[in-house]
Structure formats: structure tokens, C-alpha cells
Amino acid sequence: MAFDLSQKEDPDLRSEAECFPDIDPGIEVAGDRVLVQLRREKAKSKGGIILVDETRQTLRFNETVAKVRQIGPLAYKSPDTLEPWIEGPWCKEGDLVRTIKYGGDRFVVSPDDEGSPVVFITIQAREIISRIKSFDHAQKMKAFVD
């Protein structure tokens, strides 16, 4: 599938709290895992059209922008010596990151605010692809959807 990169996407104008609501995932990660919260999908298009549930579900599971919520006790440590990695951890709790699109243990939590469900992923520490410099940068990022 070809992508038209000349097409300019509008930034996601929601606040960080709207994109990443503070929701208890109900778990604590173990080992070398990292728990990330995916950016909550939009309920409306940029033109104000309410998106159908099928479209929202596609957006929900194709998202790759996430917020680090928990880091396991063995993450970013040598499995042999348990010494921290020479380059240090790739991220810390609260960082915005890009994650792998497929993989990890994904689960959905329904919020108390009656908004869209929130997706969490438990991934291995090495599956953090990159750290996003700021929320402003994250607002402009979009996952490519097939």
C-alpha cells in the first residue's frame, strides 16, 4: 500500500489529559516488562463527525503513541548481573513513547468518565522504539493504518 506523504495531517488538538486519562490499569508489571497506555482514540473526526464504533476500534488498536505507566523491576538491567544497562533506561514513567504496533499483551479498561475505552499494553522493555520529545510532537504523530 502506498502512502501519500504530501498530505498534511491536522494535529490532535485534545489535551494530554484527554489523550491519556489517569486510569488505574488494575495490574503491576513484573520482570523486564513495561506497561504503556495507548493514546485514546478520537470520538469525532476533525470535521466534527461522530466516528462509528468499527472505525474507533481500528484507531484504538493501530495506535503507536503511548505513555509509560509502569516499568518492571528488571527492565533495562542485564539478565546475568542485574546491573543497569550501560546506556541507562530508554524511558521512565510518564514519558511519551512510540511502541511496536503488533505484539505485547493488550487489554482494555473501561473508564469511569463514560469516555472511550483505554488500551494498555504490557511489552518487553526493548520494544520501546523511541521517546517522544514533547506532547506537542506527539499531537502531530499518527499511525499508518492499512
Top-level class of domain 28-133: mainly beta
The residue ranges of every structural domain in the chain are 28-133
Residue 21 and residue 91: Cα distance in Å, rounded? 20
CB distance 138 to 65 below 8 Å? yes
Q: pTM of this prediction? A: 0.81
CB-neighbour burial class of residue 2 (10 A; exposed 0-12, middle 13-18, buried 19+): exposed
Mean pLDDT, the chain, integer = 82
Name which of 67, 82, 58, 68 is nearest 146 in CA terms.
58
Does the pLDDT of residue 3 top 60, yes or no? Answer: no
Q: Residue 36: what pLDDT?
A: 96
pLDDT tens for 38-76 read: 988 766 556 665 555 665 555 555 678 899 999 999 999
